[in-house]
Structure 1
Amino acid sequence: MATIRAVDELEQTVGNRSLPVMMKSIPRLDPHCVALLAHAPVAALGYVANGGRMRAGLVGGAAGFAAPETPSRLRLPVPADAVPGTGASLLVLVPGWRETLRVNGTVDREGLAVEEAFLHCGKAVIRSGLWASGDLAGDGEAGTVGVEEEGPAVGPAAAAFLAAASFAVIASRDGAGLADASPKGDPPGLVRLVGPTTVAIADRPGNRRTDTFHNVLDDPEVALVVVVPGDERTVELRGTATISTDPALRESMAERRSTPKVVLLVEVSHARLAHNPALREARLWDACGHVDPAELPKPAVIWRDHLAQGEAERDQAAEDAMEAGLELDYQQNLY
């Protein structure tokens, strides 16, 4: 099976990371981020657990559970097995809203030291129909009954759950240990079981940052948290990933006559299907609790302002470098 093993192969296949896309990232929480966090009752958290394992799960339960203390500090509930001082990443969900907020940084016992924040486009959420199932749990009963399952392979209950799942978040980390959590969305069957311990996820259009793929080339260990709209359970998958360009596999995962350029294959070492307290408390599938987009900053405004901040950061860095170079020149080349 054809596999991508180097950055140049990756970029020849899926394209380069463009500067404007990367400049939409800012190194702190701005007022837009603060406003989104105030409306968010749940987020996917990717983190490093005891033993160096990558993990992913949903945390939260009530709007504002992740509270900004400063522009570079976010207080939130941290899993007991998270290793302080390691990279972690949040994918923040606002019920009823298409876009998602991604916040990356370093975790400790009480929260996250923020190093990067940016708005992710809504394509994954739209494809998944994540909020279209808002009437499924309005009575508080849907999703409360269901089996749980855990083991080194994908068992029958987890396989049935994956067949119905349309939304997932992939947690990965680069060679320096910096973490990322990226959303994926498709019609049901997003995470396709292609073997007893192997799943496949097609790459679809999105932010065009390709963070997950670059990270996998550095460190193949990943974790996924998988969601079925209307169900209060999640599946967590842990394992190692490769990037496949196999033509037959890609063609088999075509959607609306569009064939993915690459497919992420994950060799699963641990699978866990369980009820999720954050989903139960957040009542994400209750349409009455969905946020009116008019209460939120407009995505175009957020991207415009973040891009302007990125340009300012770049201009300031260039100015600082020029100033430092001038000072060095004065010191070394005065005569």
Structure 2
Amino acid sequence: MEQFLSTIDDLEARIGKTPNLAKLKTIDHLDEGALTWLAASPLMMASFGGKEGIGVTFGAAAPGWVSGNSAELQIPAAMIDDPDMARTGVSFGSFFMIPLINELLRVNGRVIGNDGEVIHIAVQECYLHCGKALLRSKFWQTGSAVQSPTTLDQVFDSARFLALGTIDANGYADISPKGDPARAMVQLDTDMLWFADRPGNKRIDSFRNIVSQPHVAAIVMIPGSPYVARLVGTARISDDPVIRTRFAVQEKVPALVTAISDLSVELMQSDALVRAASWIATPVPPDVEPARITLAHLKLNNNLEAQQAAAAMSEPGFVEQKMQEDYKKNLY
């Protein structure tokens, strides 16, 4: 019988508290590095929601399709699969992807306007997310994956990536990337869809949100295919050892698994992913350096611990080296 966690204390007892350093990498605006990243990104995965619920959608166009300044992000409504989700006042969570780069730029905020042409987002959070989800999913290696699945079972069997949208008790939205090999990404068990927790950026925002407010939305996808499974449901977190063992990869069993019940699922083609395919093979822009952006965000934080960490990591190549070591040692 499944064992579900119901409190933050239960959660932290299993996986620990969020380290302060993970929080100190967050800034409340778009700095130069973030704007450079946005200018190079052809693909966005986003959540829109509030106390009434949440949805997940994709957006894509040629690099440069989104614009903004330090305080505001501007997104062309026509380039999003579901622009009607972006109602004025709802909360916004997103990550922006650059082909062949595994790190993600996270931008969270609130919709302050949508005139049908441009969606205006007031930026509240910006930070760089580690590349583990994309590495585990081999996101940029499309290979011989099922490109045109005709059933939900085909999507679930071949899926290697999941974008999970959650909201907290106050209606603030978040979207979290999840990546794993096929058949270890998601498993459908009777009326529940399960997926594993793996090492990541240690913020555990989605877990905290699920404990306080369990309504979630997600898109399950096969990298390289525009056909996805979009779903909404009720999420619960479990440490059941039998179910966790089913998700073992490289002989490493995840600490927690998540079940989504009360499922409403649809198979759909994402127009955004169709457009994004045109830019997947583009070379990495030379001025986009994830390690440099991470260090810059630390330096922008006036907290003493952040300043001390930034000083310690300022040696050329240090941050990049530590990131690669972490990916090698702590992928699972």
Q: Where do 1:186-201 residues align within 5 Å?
A: 186-201=180-195
Q: Mean Cα displacement is larger for which, 244-253 or 187-196?
A: 187-196
- Conserved? CA contact 1:60–1:77, under 8 Å: no
- Conserved? CA contact 1:136–1:230, under 8 Å: no
Distance 1:15 1:126 in 2: 24
- Conserved? CA contact 1:43–1:92, under 8 Å: yes
What stretches of structure 1 of length at least 5 have no aligned partner? 148-156, 317-335
> Amino acid of the residue matched to residue 16 of structure 2?
G
Could you tell me which of 284, 288, 291 is aligned with 1:296? 288
SS of the residue corresponding to residue 292 of structure 2 reads helix
- Conserved? CA contact 1:24–1:310, under 8 Å: yes
- Conserved? CA contact 1:97–1:293, under 8 Å: no
Give the superposition deviation at 1:254: 1.0
> Amino acid of the residue matched to residue 129 of structure 1?
K
Q: Residue 89 of structure 1 aligns with which residue?
A: 93
Computing the radius of gyration from Cα coordinates, the structure with the larger value is: 1
Give the superposition deviation at 1:53: 2.9
Distance 2:93 2:27 in 1: 14
Give the superposition deviation at 1:192: 2.3
Give the superposition deviation at 1:190: 4.3
Q: Where do 1:106-185 residues align within 5 Å?
A: 106-107=110-111, 108-109=113-114, 110-133=119-142, 143=147, 145-147=148-150, 157-185=151-179
SS of the residue corresponding to residue 242 of structure 2 reads helix
Is residue 206 of structure 1 aligned with residue 200 of structure 2?
A: yes
Q: Residue 26 of structure 2 aligns with which residue?
A: 25
Provide the TM-score with structure 1 as the length reference: 0.83
Provide the TM-score with structure 2 as the length reference: 0.83
> Amino acid of the residue matched to residue 308 of structure 1?
K
Give the superposition deviation at 1:301: 1.6
SS of the residue corresponding to residue 161 of structure 1 reads helix
Give the superposition deviation at 1:240: 0.8
Q: Where do 1:1-335 residues align within 5 Å?
A: 1-48=2-49, 52-68=52-68, 70-78=69-77, 79-107=83-111, 108-109=113-114, 110-133=119-142, 143=147, 145-147=148-150, 157-283=151-277, 286-287=280-281, 289=282, 291-292=283-284, 294-297=286-289, 299-312=290-303
Give the superposition deviation at 1:159: 1.7
SS of the residue corresponding to residue 311 of structure 1 reads coil
> Amino acid of the residue matched to residue 106 of structure 2?
R
- Conserved? CA contact 1:131–1:285, under 8 Å: no
Give the superposition deviation at 1:303: 1.4
- Conserved? CA contact 1:167–1:190, under 8 Å: no
Distance 2:136 2:279 in 1: 16
> Amino acid of the residue matched to residue 15 of structure 1?
G
- Conserved? CA contact 2:40–2:285, under 8 Å: no
Distance 1:136 1:9 in 2: 41
Give the superposition deviation at 1:111: 2.6
- Conserved? CA contact 1:87–1:106, under 8 Å: yes
Give the superposition deviation at 1:222: 0.7
Distance 2:15 2:201 in 1: 12
Give the superposition deviation at 1:212: 0.5
Give the superposition deviation at 1:286: 4.4
Distance 1:40 1:252 in 2: 35
Distance 1:81 1:173 in 2: 14
- Conserved? CA contact 1:32–1:302, under 8 Å: yes
Distance 2:278 2:57 in 1: 15
Q: Aligned-residue CA RMSD in angstroms?
A: 2.3
Q: Mean Cα displacement is larger for which, 78-87 or 240-249?
A: 78-87
> Amino acid of the residue matched to residue 30 of structure 1?
D
Distance 2:295 2:171 in 1: 29
Distance 2:270 2:179 in 1: 20
Residue by residue over 1:60-99, the C-alpha shift from the partner in whole angstroms, topping out at 9 and shown as x without a partner, is 222122211x211001134114332011111111111110
Q: Mean Cα displacement is larger for which, 266-275 or 31-40?
A: 266-275
What stretches of structure 2 of length at least 5 have no aligned partner? 78-82, 308-332
Q: How many positions carry a matched residue from both structures?
A: 296
